[in-house]
Chains A and B, each alone.
Chain A
């Protein structure tokens, strides 16, 4: 039998890795198409977005503005609600929202066309939410379109 044994080094032949770049590029293109960039988001907010069974998925190409509201992480029991416009902390948000909406709008659009996505924590009180909504629906601002950002509820019947 030893007649057929190859001479020279023993061992496995090397695996051909020429196709590896192709596979990785395929994955890369998949991720480029199927995902969208993460929003600039405030990092120090403890944000628990409420769940909803009637939420609608938003078109990722639409122009949107973000308002974030929540309590700071490690803020203790008497921490105050912090409101961020995009990722800028605004303490006097009621007066700042109007100017921010108008300054943020694209040149070819009206403020009304740009929906404001409200990313608000479960525990924030309605007074804060009402103040934000009041500032947006000011007739001088006309930011009437809002979206209450929610997570999709996977078990809608359990609620």
Chain B
């Protein structure tokens, strides 16, 4: 009997199978990563009637009003949304660098390690006597944050923004979501810019944009900058 040669397996259709799988994956998946602006919604806290909250002064609050036609009233002026950044940047920095103070913008206070330690000691003592007092609790946590920043400062001193500083964003029921996101966007850009300036100032020229939150050392720096440049956003209930 003549020995027949072994036939080769025909692999010609392998390419077709692979193409089929490839096309399936191209169709059912997407390349672009999900991107967005993460926020944590405020917790609803019941404030007991007998607790007196410290008053908020107008100069510490940067107020933005948007009406149902998406027009902006920033502090007391009608502004175009493109002018918002300049105005907000002035709010943050007016009293930070210049020797002449602008009494209409947010106030800064010079803090140092010694007095902060003393204040923190006193506040903790008071808290042990009145453990459920939420005003004292928040005072202690604020002082602890201040101490964390001071410990990172090369000269043990820093200009702290008024703890009441906040951005108030009043909206109407008819305000569009697009404008809201645009405002959030402009606020974020200004806050990042101020953080970048402070970062260069205190961390030997390191840019805020170069900090990587996955590196623990950088993450510490980011936390400190977050405390130094707070971006507390107040959103009062929407009116019609």
Contacts and interface: CB of A to CB of B under 8 A. Distances in A.
A56 B37 contact: yes
Contacts of B41: 133, 136-137, 143-146
Contacts, number: 156
Interface string A122-143: 1111110110010011110001
B11 A21 contact: yes
B28 A148 contact: no
A126 B176 contact: yes
Nearest to A118: B36
Contacts of B22: 24, 27-28, 31
Interface residues of A, number: 56
A150 to B, nearest CB: 5
B14 A159 contact: no
Q: Is the interface of B mostly helix, strand, loop or mixed?
A: mixed
A37 B238 contact: no
B177 A57 contact: no
Nearest to B42: A137
Given A52-B181, A54-B188, A120-B177, A147 B39 contact: yes
Given A126-B173, A126-B180, A38 B33 contact: no
A123 B34 CA distance: 21
B36 to A, nearest CB: 4
Nearest to A55: B35
A129 B237 CA distance: 12
Q: Is the interface of A mostly helix, strand, loop or mixed?
A: mixed
Contacts of A143: 41
Contacts of A90: none
Interface in A94-141: 115, 117-118, 120-127, 129-130, 133, 136-139
Interface residues of B, number: 46
Given A148-B181, A150-B181, A127 B238 contact: yes
A73 interface: no
Interface of B: 11-12, 14-15, 18-19, 21-22, 25-26, 28-31, 33-44, 82, 171-178, 180-182, 184-186, 188-189, 192, 237-238
Contact of A139 (B19, B43, B184, B186): B43
Given A52-B35, A52-B36, A120-B177, 17 more contacts: A21-B11, A21-B14, A24-B15, A24-B22, A54-B37, A55-B37, A58-B36, A64-B34, A121-B177, A125-B173, A146-B40, A147-B37, A149-B34, A150-B35, A150-B36, A150-B37, A159-B82
A82 to B, nearest CB: 14
Contact of A32 (B19, B25, B237): B25
